[in-house]
């Protein structure tokens, strides 16, 4: 049976949907642990109530320790992350350096916490931190199938970023949706695993769009994790782009 870890920042309703699917026997995985980037994430309470081990990688506290002189991990290379993210030298300001160094400090802690649970898959469920190549490559470890999944509140590649439903509604879209994808170096740009859509009519406002969207997320995420757990996801290529192929 596959082991997964779930990372949250907030309320964790997607985490709850995954816990419920496992309990109902619809999803055959072990949730080995739930981690958060802050100690107040509501998802931590949901995990504890379900008897799942939890940990916190306190990003804010770690950023403070960086400001007070803590060093990035010894195996962190600024040049390497720059190259992988396609950043050019002109951007190598002190600001960007600080951003990446303190992030690596937090990500090293995250990797350490996760190392105790030996999971197959990392599931981001409302985890509001961007993961850098430092973390992504160490966690993926050269596996042919990526090992980090994310859910995004829009039909990617439209509306990446933090406010997918708001952007969808604000654009006047007549269809909204959500996307589960593997995580790559870009922002919400990794290969798409699954999507669900819903209509937006004249009776809708932002609140109903969010409500419809979340209800779709709660079905879609367990379904995509199930495909992974059944070994039904393969990487393929279309026109030079890496894509996920779902085996029937
Ligand atoms: C969801 O809309 C998800 O798509 C986005 O953040 C929200 C998290 O909600 N990434 P919850 O914490 O799972 O309730």
> Taken in order 244, 146, 183, 24, is the CA torsion positive or negative?
positive
Pair 155, 105 in one domain: no
> Taken in order 113, 119, 120, 121, is the CA torsion positive or negative?
negative
**Which ligand 1 atom is the nearest neighbour of the CA of 214?**
2
Q: In this structure, what CATH number is given to the domain that contains residue 93?
A: 3.40.50.170
Pair 15, 93 in one domain: yes
What is the spatial distance between Cα 195 and Cα 202, in angstroms, rounded to a whole number? 23
Two tokens at 151?
A: 């859910």
What is the spatial distance between Cα 229 and Cα 3, in angstroms, rounded to a whole number? 9
Pair 116, 63 in one domain: yes
Pair 127, 245 in one domain: no
Pair 136, 170 in one domain: no
Pair 110, 219 in one domain: no
Pair 245, 192 in one domain: yes
**Are residues 80 and 104 in contact, defined by beta-carbon separation less than 8 angstroms?**
no
Number of Cβ within 10 Å of residue 61's Cβ equals 14
Average pLDDT over residues 77-88: 80
Q: Hey, whose CA ends up nearest to atom 6 of ligand 1?
A: 126
Pair 218, 109 in one domain: no
**Which ligand 1 atom is the nearest neighbour of the CA of 14?**
13
Query: Domain boundary at 142, 165, 198, which?
Result: 142
Q: Report the residue among 213, 217, 218, 221 best suited for mutation to probe ligand 1: largest number of ligand atoms under 8 A from its CB.
A: 217
What is the spatial distance between Cα 83 and Cα 92, in angstroms, rounded to a whole number? 11
* Burial of residue 247, with CB atoms counted within 10 A of its CB: 0-12 exposed, 13-18 middle, 19 or more buried: exposed
Query: Domain boundary at 108, 142, 176, which?
Result: 142
Pair 199, 117 in one domain: no
**Strand-pair category, 241-246 with 233-238:** antiparallel
**Are residues 70 and 105 in contact, defined by beta-carbon separation less than 8 angstroms?**
yes
Average pLDDT over residues 234-238: 97
**Which ligand 1 atom is the nearest neighbour of the CA of 43?**
12
**Which ligand 1 atom is the nearest neighbour of the CA of 13?**
14
Average pLDDT over residues 130-144: 93
Q: How far, CA to CA in Å, does 102 sit from each of 71, 127, 131, 134, 214?
A: 8, 17, 12, 12, 32
pTM for the full model?
Answer: 0.96
For ligand 1, the distance from its centroid to the CA atom of residue 213, given in whole angstroms, is 10
Q: Return the pLDDT at 197.
A: 98
Q: Hey, whose CA ends up nearest to atom 8 of ligand 1?
A: 126
For ligand 1, the distance from its centroid to the CA atom of residue 18, given in whole angstroms, is 13
- Higher-confidence residue of 53 and 89: namely 53
**Are residues 23 and 51 in contact, defined by beta-carbon separation less than 8 angstroms?**
no
**Confidence label for 87 from pLDDT (cuts 50, 70 and 90):** low
Average pLDDT over residues 91-103: 83
The verdict on whether 152 is a catalytic residue reads yes
Q: Return the pLDDT at 79.
A: 86
Pair 127, 195 in one domain: no
Q: Is the model's pLDDT at 91 over the cut of 80? A: no
- Provide the number of structural domains found in the chain: 2
Query: Domain boundary at 107, 142, 177, which?
Result: 142
Pair 92, 4 in one domain: yes
**Are residues 177 and 195 in contact, defined by beta-carbon separation less than 8 angstroms?**
yes
The residue from 152, 181, 210, 212 that is catalytic is 152
What is the spatial distance between Cα 236 and Cα 152, in angstroms, rounded to a whole number? 22
Tell which residue, 175, 154, 155, has the closest CA to residue 166: 154
* 114-136: pLDDT as tens digits: 999 999 999 999 999 999 999 99
Pair 227, 116 in one domain: no
Average pLDDT over residues 68-89: 85
Q: Return the pLDDT at 90.
A: 54
Average pLDDT over residues 196-225: 98
Q: Which domain holds residue 194?
A: 151-248
Two tokens at 94?
A: 């002190």
Cβ-Cβ contacts under 8 Å for 103 (sequence gap 6 or more) = 129, 130, 132, 134
Spell out which residues line ligand 1, taking CB within 6 angstroms. 8, 10-14, 125-126, 151-153, 178, 214, 217
Q: Hey, whose CA ends up nearest to atom 3 of ligand 1?
A: 126
């Amino acid at each position: 049976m596959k082991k997964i870890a779930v990372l949250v920042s907030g309320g964790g309703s997607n985490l709850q949907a995954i816990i419920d699917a496992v309990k109902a026997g619809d999803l055959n995985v072990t949730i080995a642990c739930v981690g958060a980037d802050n100690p107040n994430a509501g998802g931590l309470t949901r995990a504890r109530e379900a008897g799942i081990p939890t940990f916190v990688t306190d990003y804010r506290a770690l950023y403070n320790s960086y400001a007070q002189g803590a060093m990035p991990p010894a195996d962190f290379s600024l040049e390497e992350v720059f190259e992988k993210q396609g950043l050019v030298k002109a951007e190598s300001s002190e600001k960007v350096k600080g951003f990446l160094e303190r992030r690596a400090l937090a990500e090293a802690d995250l990797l350490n916490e996760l190392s105790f649970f030996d999971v197959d898959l990392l599931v981001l469920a409302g985890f509001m931190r961007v993961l850098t190549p430092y973390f992504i490559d160490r966690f993926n470890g050269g596996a042919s199938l990526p090992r980090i999944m994310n859910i995004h509140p829009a039909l990617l590649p439209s509306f990446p970023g933090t406010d997918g439903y708001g952007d969808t509604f604000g654009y006047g879209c007549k269809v909204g949706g959500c996307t589960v994808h593997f995580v790559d170096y870009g922002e919400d740009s990794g290969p798409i695993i699954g999507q669900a859509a819903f209509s937006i009519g004249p009776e809708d406002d932002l609140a109903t769009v969010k409500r419809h969207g979340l209800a779709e997320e709660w079905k879609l995420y367990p379904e995509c994790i199930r495909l992974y757990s059944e070994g039904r996801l393969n990487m393929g290529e279309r026109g030079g782009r890496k894509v996920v192929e779902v085996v029937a």
